Amino acid sequence: MQMRFNWLTAVLAVALLTSVTASGLLLSSNSQLSSDNSASATRLQMNSILSQGQLVAQAEIKKLDALAANLGMDLGPHGLNGTATRALMNATMAANANIISILTYNTSGIVIAAEPYTNVEGRNLSGDVIVQKLLITKMPVMSNVFKTVEGPMGAVLAAPVFDTTGRFIGGVSIVFNPNRMMESKLPQLLNGTSLTFWSMQNDGLLLYDEDPTQVGKNLLGPDYAAFPSLQALAWRMVNESSGYGIYNFAPTAQNVVNTECYWTNTGAHGVSWRLVIVHRL
Partner 1 sequence: MPPRAKWPLALLTVALLISVTASGVLLSSNAQLQSERNAASTRLQMTTALGEGQMAVQDQISRLNELVTGLSVNCTQLGLNGTALRAQINATMAADGCILSMITFDARGIVIAAEPASNHFMEGIDLSYSDNIARSLATKRPFMSDVLQPLHGPPGVALDIPVFDTAGVFQGGVSAFYSISALMNGTLPTLSVGMPFTWWSMQLNGTEIYDTDPAQIGQNNLGPATDPFPQAKALSWRVVNESYGYGSYSFFVNLDAQQVVTKECYWSTVGLHGTQWRLTIVHRL
What is the Cα–Cα distance from 219 to 233, expressed in whole angstroms? 10
Question: Which lies closer to partner 1 via its Cβ, residue 22 or residue 91?
Answer: 22
At closest approach, how far in Å is the CB of 47 from partner 1? 4
At closest approach, how far in Å is the CB of 260 from partner 1? 13
Question: Which lies closer to partner 1 via its Cβ, residue 17 or residue 256?
Answer: 17
Interacting residue ranges for partner 1, rule: CB under 8 A:
1-2, 5, 8-9, 12-13, 15-16, 19-20, 22-23, 26-27, 29-30, 33-34, 36-37, 40-41, 43-44, 47-48, 50-52, 55, 59, 62, 66, 69, 73, 107, 136-140, 160, 162, 165-169, 241-242, 244, 262, 264-265, 270
Question: Which lies closer to partner 1 via its Cβ, residue 140 or residue 154?
Answer: 140
What is the Cα–Cα distance from 26 to 151, expressed in whole angstroms? 60
At closest approach, how far in Å is the CB of 160 from partner 1? 8
The H or E element spanning position 255 is strand 255-268
At closest approach, how far in Å is the CB of 83 from partner 1? 25
What is the Cα–Cα distance from 222 to 234, expressed in whole angstroms? 13
Among the listed residues 173, 176, 168, the one whose alpha carbon sits nearest the alpha carbon of residue 79: 168
At closest approach, how far in Å is the CB of 199 from partner 1? 16
**Residues in contact with 193: Cβ distance below 8 Å, sequence separation at least 6, in sequence order:** 45, 49
Question: Which lies closer to partner 1 via its Cβ, residue 140 or residue 204?
Answer: 140
Handedness of CA 35, 243, 183, 229 (dihedral sign): positive
Q: How deeply is 23 buried, as exposed, middle or buried, from its count of CB atoms within 10 A (0-12, 13-18, 19+)? A: exposed
